[in-house]
Structure 1
Amino acid sequence: MALLIGCAALLALLVHTLANARLLRRPPIIGSAGGVASAPPRQVAVLLPLRDEATRVEPCLRALLELPPAVRVLVLDDGSTDGTAELVRRVAGDRVTLLTGRPLPAGWLGKPHACQQLADAAGDAEVLVFLDADVVLAPDAVERATVLLRRSGVDLLSPYPRIEAVGPGERLVQPLLQWSWLTFLPLRAMERSARPSLAAAGGQFLVVRRDAYERAGGHAAVRDRVLEDIELARAVKRSGGRIGLADGSALARCRMYASWRELSDGYAKSLWASFGSPLGAVAVLAMLLALYVVLPAAVLFGQWAGLLAYALGVAGRAVSARATGGRAFPDALAHPVSVLLFAWLVARSYARRGRTTWKGRPTWRP
């Protein structure tokens, strides 16, 4: 009976994933027959914080050079020691405004402080586009994202880039980002609801109206938060704004980590903050492991409904990949392994909380 109940839950989650995939906002086509008339974005600033990114930021910078001239690009070098600022000057020259970050004040984490400095320097820009160094934009990405921001009626839009996963560890773990919110988060309800707890966002590529950003308190409101992107989305909600997610796979690509060590360290610094409390993490992981690992494993003991559970989990993973520009097969076939690996990463993150650093800075302020 428990196995059948679990399969029913997996079927419901698959139906929810299919509905979300259909409802997921996508950027309009600009300047083509049947598309939106092209209009160069005005008063838009792209803001790129950098700290020791000399080995990975060049593709991002070269893509920024292809944006329309009306888009302002501001880059902040946040105390780099690896020649990042020199690389920006060599690659981008006068096309971008290069700022030197101020020393980190007490009570702040590094990225919120860098983002706040960039926002303050953006002048009269009406739309702020926050970007990470590993994101490569399409030439029309800012224009299309800005149009989608306006048409959707939200104040903060997170167009998730197409995640590039190369190594086995990346292919197992990285697609879980999109899979998690497509499977468990009701997208339209999230847009309509004023509850800050019902929020998701990705800081790799974040588009926000300047007035909503300031009303929410900007990054100063999330100065000590390791997941500053989600916390900023919650701050926008608390101040009366609306947030939305979109498929940004046609606008940007992103390889977040270049090795398994980078990936595991990256998740260690922040994954613990995704659950609210250790008890919440235990509850979530117990549910994920029961549905996506234990139920499929029942087939090993002659319970053929376990094969149905496995197929439903794989189908949900494949649907989310198709909806967000990812690789569906054969990667989705290893979904139980992905969930097991994710559980290990969460446990490791909690074990290392308070003892991890990122680029020479602490990642947690008690």
Structure 2
Amino acid sequence: MIIVIAATFFFIILRFSVTLFNFLSNPKLHRVAKQYTDKVSILIPARDEADNILALLQSINNQDYPHYEVIVLDDDSTDQTYNIVADFAAKHPQFKIIKGAELPHYWLGKNYACYQLAEQATGNLFLFLDADEKISNGLINSALHRMYQRKLSLLSLFANQEMHSPGEKLVVPLMHYILLNLLPLQLVYLVKSAAVAAASGQFMLFNGADYRKNQWHQQVSYKVVEDVEIMKLVKASGYNGEALLSNNMVTCRMYKGYKEAVNGFSKNFLAAFNYNIFGFLIYILLVIAGPMIVMMTFDFQLIFLMAGLIILTRIMISLSVKQNAMYNVILHPVQMFSLTLIAFTAIQKHLTKTNVWKGRKI
């Protein structure tokens, strides 16, 4: 029992320290006033995104950077995605839509869609966005400034998350919670080892020449967590990569409702641990079972210390990503239940090979 409690507190203090580092170092994309003129190819894979994609297209059209082309790839959608984009493109000459080719063996759908988009791109920089996002003024100039300032081959941003239903609030905050208390984001750039890597496929900005030379999505054709794998490849090849918070310049509503959020997170959660089920279970036990064991000791000094560290961690992360800190503190126990459900769903799908997303087996 003493060993378990000691391990739990070591892990809580370690995660609190990482969170504090991230909070103080403020790893966000900062807005700049400098104007750039490079042509940016904005590349959007879309599969059954009729409910989302028009908002993204309008946000691109309304932003303050004029030097771009937008290419949307319709990845065998069964809804009105193609028609919606085609109608928009007919009125806006910088936008166009293409039909995706049949998915080959040993490719996952999004990876192949991104590969095809890059083949069509003519810009100096390639910006991959997900179809369920919106971007704001200042984003592209600020991102290009960061690219040139730090001589980056890849800049990836973690979008601010929109949550409208109670179910989303029980799951979606876990993404930033896990990210910001496990990895000091600044180290992605500062440490040259490929072992220190993080990225989000929601925003991937590449130096176009480097991408054409290395064909990053082709190299990760069958990887579920392709964003992190690409960051590892970028760094292993001697290029500079960086991952930052978007500072509210990219927003996204990832899922609509509790069930969809649990299924969405479970499809790639285990992949983030390199499919090491044992290591994954140790993490879950330390994060969830450990605090429950501390509660069962009825040692109020230990309980208050543990609760204080967890509450401060939740507040710092919530403020960093512009989420409601009070909600996340109050909902923390229920979010931990959601994390448990996601964990066991991910393991079950992996062992039974029943992981499916948007109608395709992963």
> Residue 173 of structure 2 contacts residue 328 of structure 2 at CA under 8 Å; is this kept in 1?
no
Could you tell me which amino acid in structure 2 is paired with residue 287 of structure 1? L
Q: Pick closer, same or farther for the CA change 1:290–1:264 going to 2, 3 Å.
A: closer
- Cα distance in 1, alignment partners of residues 211 and 337 from structure 2: 37
Counterpart of 1:166 in structure 2 is 164
| Aligned residue in 2 for 1:264 | 262
CA contact (8 A) 2:171 2:258 kept: no
2:244 is the alignment partner of 1:242: no
Q: Which residue of 1 aligns with 2:104?
A: 105
Q: Secondary structure at the match of 1:173?
A: coil
Please say if residues 157 and 243 of structure 2, whose CA atoms lie closer than 8 Å, have aligned partners that are also in contact. Answer: yes
SS at match of 2:48: coil
Which residue of the partner structure matches residue 204 of structure 2?
A: 206
Post-superposition shift, 1:19? 1.5
Q: Does 1:50 align with 2:52?
A: no
Aligned residue-pair number: 354
Letter in 2 for 1:337: V
1:324 equivalent among 317, 321, 324: 321
Q: What does 1:7-22 correspond to in 2, within 5 Å?
A: 7=9, 9-22=11-24
**Higher mean displacement: 192-201 or 127-136:** 192-201
Instruction: Give the match for residue 58 of structure 2.
Output: 62
Change (3 A) 1:51 1:170: same
The code of the aligned residue for 2:287 comes to L
Q: What are structure 2's unaligned runs of at least 5 residues?
A: none
CA distance in 1, matches of 2:291, 2:206: 35
> Distance in 1 between the 2:341 and 2:314 partners?
19
Partners of 2:174 and 2:232 lie apart in 1 by 22
Amino acid at match of 1:181: L
Q: CA separation in 2, counterparts of 1:24 and 1:215?
A: 33
Q: What does residue 192 of structure 1 align with?
A: 190
Distance in 2 of aligned mates of 1:49 and 1:294? 45
**Which stretch has the larger CA shift, 145-154 or 257-266?**
145-154
Does structure 2 retain, via aligned residues, the 8 Å contact 1:115–1:219? Answer: yes
Note if contact 2:29-2:247 (Cα within 8 Å) is conserved in structure 1.
Answer: no
Cα deviation digits, residues 261-293 of structure 1 (max 9, x gap): 211221232222111111121122122124544
CA contact (8 A) 2:31 2:138 kept: no
Instruction: Out of 203-212 and 53-62, give the one that drifted further.
Output: 203-212
Given candidates 126, 134, 140, the residue that maps to 2:138 is 140
CA distance in 2, matches of 1:55, 1:312: 40
Instruction: Give the equivalent residue in structure 2 for 1:121.
Output: 120
User: What's the TM-score, normalizing by structure 2?
Assistant: 0.91
Task: Say which SS state the counterpart of residue 352 (structure 1) adopts.
Answer: helix
Encode CA deviations 1:135-161: one digit per residue, 9 max, x unaligned: 100032122122122223332112211
Deviation at 1:242, TM superposition (A): 2.3
CA offset digits 1:311-345 (Å, max 9, x no partner): 21121111011112222112223323322321220
Question: Residues 356 and 10 of structure 1: is their aligned pair in 2 closer, same or farther, counting only changes over 3 Å?
Answer: closer
SS in 1 for 2:67: coil
Q: Distance in 2 between matches of 1:298 and 1:41?
A: 61
- Separation in 2 of the partners of 1:153 and 1:17? 27
**3-state DSSP of counterpart to 1:329:** helix
Instruction: Judge which range, 309-318 or 285-294, deviates more.
Output: 285-294
In structure 1, distance between residues paired with 2:12 and 2:343: 22
Q: State the Cα distance separating 1:254 from its structure 2 match.
A: 0.6
* Unpaired runs of at least 5, structure 1: 32-36
How far apart, in 2, do the equivalents of 1:8 and 1:278 lie?
22
1:4/1:303 CA distance change after superposition, 3 Å: farther
Q: Normalising to structure 1: TM-score of the pair?
A: 0.90
Query: Aligned pair in 2 of structure 1 residues 302, 147: CA closer, same or farther (>3 Å)?
Result: same
Q: What is the RMSD of the two structures over their aligned residues, measured on CA atoms?
A: 2.1
Cα deviation code 1:78-107 (max 9, x no counterpart): 111211110012234333121111111111
Output the CA distance in 1 between the equivalents of 2:145 and 2:152.
Answer: 11
Q: Is the 8 A contact 1:28 1:147 kept in 2?
A: no
Secondary structure of the corresponding residue to residue 65 of structure 1 = helix
**Residue 232 of structure 1, aligned match among 230, 233, 241:** 230
Instruction: Report the Cα distance in structure 2 between the residues aligned to 1:225 and 1:319, rounded to whole angstroms.
Output: 32
